[in-house]
Structure 1
Amino acid sequence: MSLDAAPPLYPLFADLRGRTALVVGGGGVARRKAASLLQSGARVVVGAPELEPTLSAWALEGRIVHRRGRFRPSWLDDAWLAIAATDEVAVNREVAAAAEARRIWVNVVDDAALSRFQVPARVERGPLQIAISSGGGAPMLARLLRERLETQLDDSWSALATLLARQRGRIRARWPDPGARRRAFARLLAGPLQGLLRRRRDREAELLLDAELAPDGPTSAAPAGSVALVGAGPGDPGLLTLRALRLLNEADVILHDRLVGDGVLALARRDAELVSVGKQAGDHRTAQERIHALMIDHARAGRRVVRLKGGDPFVFGRGGEELEALHAHGIGYEVVPGITAAVACAAYAGVPLTHRDHAQSVRLVTAHCSASLDTLDWPALAQERQTLAVYMGVAMLDTLRTRLVGEGRDPATPFALVENGSRPEQRVVTGTLHELPALARRHAVRSPALLILGEVAALAETLHWFGDAPLSAASAVLRSPHAGAGGPVPAPGTPEPDRALERAA
């Protein structure tokens, strides 16, 4: 019977604890099969003339039994299942025929026609397992689906399955009717139980389940809302964490900053409500209070809220203020770190923030206004052999240069100014501290841009790997991608008013 005409395989999970499983073959494939069987508690027998090093070590340790030599049908005498994993077609056929004669389930690796069972691709979260099979016809498709599921299911599923299995008897007693039990489970899983386990609040999760299982426990309740502060990273969707991706797929409402890119938002659940909460210049306090109110109102309405912030929520992202607001109103929350701009922009520009020969420390600085600059420790910032990563400083470059040079920083200190770091439109401008404001104007650098100042910045010239080579004072092409309606950028030496930098903030 062809694979196209074959009926679907019957799915089952086998209990192999203490039962003999035979693996024929002594190479790397046989080792992987033996490892999986050992994990299932099987008594593993491996038959082959010779064993690869790991299998040989397992045999010496007594973890497996080695049958030395070529395959003999007697190896199957006490086996419950067999796997043929040799590179000799004739041997694999012999194993399959001998197992068939004894009514023993057999799998021949990469040969669906000779196999009587298939080993599925698996996603494992403790006692919870998801098995994926293509019937042996397209194993790579099953593996691809497994990889996708791996990104969707975190370790809290293992803790949840363990907790529910431990309370199985009480669950059945509390809700003997299957329909009522299904509805109760749906409510439990929509509530805070799994979130507590995810945050390693195991005792609180057990107390919550105990309350549900009590004879007079709740039978219905409005779902509890929650808020997750999620770092979206610098812009490249590939830099999101797995946890961030999972939350985007679970969110009912996403409150996102202005600089969170479309590529990141495209990963959200299709029916999620997207709300832009980007702040406008001069209106930061009002905007921040509005964000607090939106988070609290949506959570109180039972929604799962993602507060999506560029970079990392706790690095110049006002995440602390938002958590304080949530805590004050009794709203459950979690924080998912993101790759902050300093780390990402430096990496995508080929600049190591620390280097044994050049910098033994890094300082993260925000310079979005004169008031923030006045609070900085300028003598400390002017010290050598350290890297400065300056956030939100495009409009203050003249002041930055003046203050640093005035405190003794060498005007020849290298810099790298990274615009739209990690995004397709990334540009890097390099030069020295003395040239910094003029080069930024010449190349019409705009926000978002991060300044990296220190000896390590010079490495951008040789270590760059993403996008175009850095622009510098010697760059031949001086037209900015922003120049469209405004014409070409002035050539070197052409005076330009400081208001260009003010517009770029």
Structure 2
Amino acid sequence: MRFLPVFLDLQSGVVLLVGAGELVRAKLRLLASAGASVRWYATDGSHDVSGLDAAVDARIERATGDPLTSDLSGVIAILCAGAGDIGVAMSARAKAVGLPINVMDDLAHSTFIFPAIVDRGDVVVAVGTGGASPVVARRVRERIEAVLPARIGDLAAFIGSFRKSMHARIPEFPLRRRFWERVIDGPIGALVLAGRKDEAEKALNEIADPSAFAGASKDGKAEGRVTLVGAGPGDPDLLTIKALRALQDADIVFYDELVSPEILDRIRRDAARIPVGRRVGKPGIGQDAINKLLIDAAKAGQRAVRLKGGDPFIFGRGGEEIEELRAAGVAYSVVPGITAGLGAAAQFEAPLTYRHEALRITFLTAHKAKDAETVDWSVLTDRKMTIVVYMGMTAAPSVRAGLLAAGRLPQTPVGVFARVTRADAQAVVGTLENLPALVEKIDGGPAILIIGDVVAHSAPWRQSNLNQVISKLLDAAE
């Protein structure tokens, strides 16, 4: 992120505008709509504002003379639109005195840029692309416009009118935040968005105990809880809406090592983040310590999230954690996530079931060779069963040996799918007899092994066959 989005108080000074033509007129409309006072130097000598409404005209000071030598006292920002070479010179002058400047369509000479704006009164959304593509920014703005309630600004103003009084009644900040969340998400917020502000105000005034409304315990403190959230295999777009809401509501997040940075970016900015996971060969803090952290956070009144890669209940120890939470009397909930096996199947078009070919699925974990040795492979020899092995890279030789010894065919298709759904995802396919060699072609995990005839329907398998055909044709041509 090169440009930090900030909001400039246009009531605190004058905006100096330099330029001419329709580009300047567009900036005049924008600045006037934001309540700015504008000092305009028309580079073509014409201050004609015909076609602009009177409200815009009233906020314009028509300046004469040379903007390069003008008095900059009281100026809070400089804009150049259709100013030609004067824009470059104004940029040098602005930078010399530390004033922010925007030279339209000239990123090199600008110290700030204009985002695409969604204006809902007190709610303003700014969308930027760092100047790289204003068209992309506009497209994003259009999508936000489509989903943002028309009266969302009224809701912000409504809450603003009650903030000071509620601050006095609910001094504890976490509890106060939860109070407003319940207002926004509940019937009162719905009334404001429906244009029934008077009814909403009446309902808010009738709340006798704001702390209790916010969910405080008997001692007046916020009640804590723990939410186990499945982060999925890595792609942040695969997070559920419920998972995103939990991450935005959390006071503290305990996350696994395998949770991607892109997903961590979805956590509320002021929430505490505690890494508690481990990777192969690197010891973690231990499950007992994790359980204690979750319980302590909840009993301190915090909304804690236990953020896990994949799904909490598929090799995620979610069951163990909720048993401990239940025993400690801590409230909890579980938000499922897309498990890595499903992510691999979807990304690489490897259907885990297939009519007449694959009627059953088995999920198992083989973190180490000794894990694979404890598996009863004799129940996994059915050709119509797909086997999905988690954490199976290290144990690949034992997985192969166990299945072959039990009678699974050496020619059974297998796929090794690494870092699934991420930008650096990788797939290698082949047969069961060559499984360890396939794993060696992978540039690091985590990886999923899929074993069964369904792998022959996958995109990597089809591509592999195509490459073989092309190679044979080339050999024949020689």
TM-score for both structures, normalised by structure 1: 0.53
Change (3 A) 1:140 1:423: closer
Quote how far apart the aligned CAs of 1:234 are: 0.2
Are 2:310 and 1:311 equivalent residues in the alignment? yes
Query: Which residue of structure 1 lines up, in the alignment, with residue 298 of structure 2?
Result: 299
- SS of residue matched to 1:298: helix
AA in 2 matched with 1:147: V
Q: Is the 8 A contact 1:413 1:454 kept in 2?
A: yes
Question: Is residue 404 of structure 2 the alignment partner of residue 405 of structure 1?
Answer: yes
Partner in structure 1 of residue 53 of structure 2: none
1:391 matched residue in structure 2: 390
- Equivalent residue for 2:452? 454
Alpha-carbon separation, structure 2, partners of 1:344 and 1:353: 11
Written as runs of structure 1 = structure 2, the 5 A alignment for 1:46-57 is none
Aligned residue type for 1:318: R
**Which residue number in structure 1 is paired with residue 147 of structure 2?**
147
Instruction: Sort the Cα spacing of 1:395 and 1:218 in 2 relative to 1 into closer, same or farther, 3 A.
Output: closer
What is the CA distance between 1:290 and its match in structure 2?
1.4
Query: Which residue identity lines up with residue 392 of structure 1 in the other structure?
Result: M
Describe the shift of the 1:179–1:368 C-alpha distance in structure 2 as closer, same or farther (beyond 3 A): closer
Q: Is the 8 A contact 1:411 1:434 kept in 2?
A: yes
CA 1:325–1:377: 2 relative to 1, 3 Å: same
* SS of residue in 2 equivalent to 1:405: helix
1:355 partnered with 2:354: yes
Partner of 1:227: 226
Q: Deviations over 1:286-332 (max 9, x none)?
A: 51111111111222222221111000000000001111111111111
Structure 1 letter corresponding to 2:451:
L
- The amino acid of 2:225's aligned partner reads S
Is 2:426 the partner of 1:427? yes
Q: State the AA in 1 paired with 2:144.
A: L
1:457-472 map, 5 Å: 457-461=455-459
Post-superposition offset of 1:471: 11
Contact 1:416–1:458 (Cα < 8 Å) also in 2: no
- Secondary structure, in 3 states, of the residue corresponding to 2:423? coil
SS, match of residue 395 in structure 1:
coil
Is the CA contact (8 Å cut-off) linking 2:257 and 2:279 kept in structure 1? no
* Residue of structure 1 in register with 2:263 after alignment: 264
Question: How many pairs were matched up?
Answer: 317
What is the CA-CA distance between 1:225 and the residue it aligns to? 1.5
1:289 is matched with 288
- Is residue 394–residue 446 contact of structure 1 (8 Å, CA) maintained in 2? no
Q: Alpha carbon RMSD of aligned pairs, Å?
A: 4.6
Structure 2 residue matching 1:415: 3-state secondary structure: strand
Amino acid at match of 1:144: I
Per-residue deviation, 1:373: 2.7
Given the superposition, is the C-alpha separation of residues 181 and 398 from structure 1 closer, same or farther in structure 2, using an over 3 Å criterion? same
Q: Partner residue of 2:278?
A: 279
Report how far residue 148 of structure 1 moved.
6.2
Task: Give the Cα–Cα distance (whole angstroms) in 2 for the partners of residues 436 and 358 of structure 1.
Answer: 21
Provide the C-alpha distance between the structure 1 equivalents of 2:408 and 2:149, rounded to a whole number of angstroms.
52
**Cα distance change on mapping 1:408 and 1:149 into 2, 3 Å:** farther
Residues 42-68 of structure 1 deviation map (CA, whole Å, 9 limit, x = unaligned): xxxxxxxxxxxxxxxxxxxxxxxxxxx
Amino acid of the structure 2 residue aligned with 1:446: G
Matched-pair contact (CA < 8 Å) for 1:416–1:457? yes
Shift of 1:285: 8.5
How far apart are 1:233 and its partner, in Å? 0.2
Give the superposition deviation at 1:439.
2.4
5+ unaligned residues in a row in structure 2: which ranges?
Answer: 1-27, 35-117, 126-137, 153-163, 187-206, 471-478
Query: Is the partner of 1:267 in helix, strand or coil?
Result: coil
Structure 2: which amino acid aligns with 1:190? R
**In 2: Cα distance, 1:407 partner to 1:139 partner:** 57
Aligned with 1:406: secondary structure? helix
* Distance change in 2, residues 1:144/1:283 (3 Å): closer
1:454 aligned partner, one-letter code: G
Partner in structure 1 of residue 12 of structure 2: none
Deviation, 1:389, is 0.5
Displacement of 1:147? 2.9
SS of the residue 2:307 aligns to: strand
Contact 2:312 2:318 in 1 (8 A): yes
Partner amino acid, structure 1, of 2:331: G
The aligned runs of 1:63-82 (5 Å cut-off) are none
Q: Is the 8 A contact 1:191 1:223 kept in 2?
A: no
Q: Summarize the alignment of residues 41-440 of structure 1 with structure 2, pairs less than 5 Å apart.
A: 141=141, 144-145=144-145, 147=147, 183=170, 187=175, 190=178, 221-279=220-278, 281=280, 287-440=286-439
Which residue type is aligned with residue 226 of structure 1? R
SS of alignment partner, residue 275 of structure 1: strand
Summarize the Cα distance change of 1:399–1:133 in structure 2 as closer, same or farther, 3 Å threshold: closer
Moved more, 383-392 or 281-290: 281-290
Determine if contact 2:412/2:432 at 8 Å carries over to the other structure. Answer: yes
- Identity in percent: 37
In structure 1, the gaps of 5 or more residues are 9-120, 124-129, 153-176, 199-207, 477-505
Post-superposition offset of 1:395: 0.9
Secondary structure, counterpart of 1:439 in structure 2: helix
How big is each residue's C-alpha offset from its partner over 1:249-285, in whole Å with a ceiling of 9 and x where there is no partner? 1212111101101111111111221111112557878
Q: Deviations over 1:57-105 (max 9, x none)?
A: xxxxxxxxxxxxxxxxxxxxxxxxxxxxxxxxxxxxxxxxxxxxxxxxx
> How far apart, CA to CA, are the structure 1 residues paired with 2:339 and 2:264?
18
Contact kept, 8 Å, 1:439 with 1:472, in 2: the verdict is: no
**In 1, distance between residues paired with 2:233 and 2:149?**
25
Residues 431 and 472, structure 1, Cα contact 8 Å, conserved in 2: no
CA–CA separation in structure 2 for the residues paired with 1:433 and 1:473: 20
Evaluate the alpha carbon distance shift between residue 6 and residue 461 of structure 1 in structure 2; reply closer, same or farther with a 3 A threshold.
closer
TM-score by length of 2: 0.56
Q: Which amino acid aligns with 1:448?
A: P
The whole-number CA distance in structure 2 between the counterparts of 1:300 and 1:243 is 23
Deviations 1:428-464 (A, max 9, x none): 00000011112222x1453200000000101224687
Measured after TM superposition, the shift of residue 418 of structure 1 is 0.1
